[in-house]
Structure 1
Amino acid sequence: MDKKEYRVLIKYCFLKGKNTVEAKTWLNAEFPDTATGKSTIKDSYAKFRRGEMSTEDGERSGQPKELVTDEKN
């Protein structure tokens, strides 16, 4: 399962009123082989409480994913 899918599941738990411990317990029970860490859940809950409800990756500083170079002949 990828990160975005986990964020959606964590958001589901948040919207259902589960606390972080309940969310972690539920994720471990439903997805025992691939459950995410407690700190990831806590960080996501903090974002949701601030009103940042997106489950997409945020912009990051640093090198872009794609590099565009001019062709030199």
Structure 2
Amino acid sequence: MGHPARGKRADARRNEGALLDVAAQAGEIRSGIDAYELMRGVGNICIGAEEDPRYDPRRVVELLIAGLHRPD
């Protein structure tokens, strides 16, 4: 039997992917966005934020999310 957290992580990834698919089908974001890549990217943006008061990861995440929107 596997580790219980692994199953929960897999479920979360499927749900994240489903949310991105629905948003893409609704024309809210670009299609072809991988949930795992997106979450890793957001996580990496946030690394080290406590160590540099000049760095605001929320601002960078806002820019990332804005970039997901479909171009008009």
Q: What range is the shorter-chain TM-score in? A: 0.3 to 0.5
The higher-RCO structure (CA 8 Å, 6+ apart) is 1
Higher helix share: 2
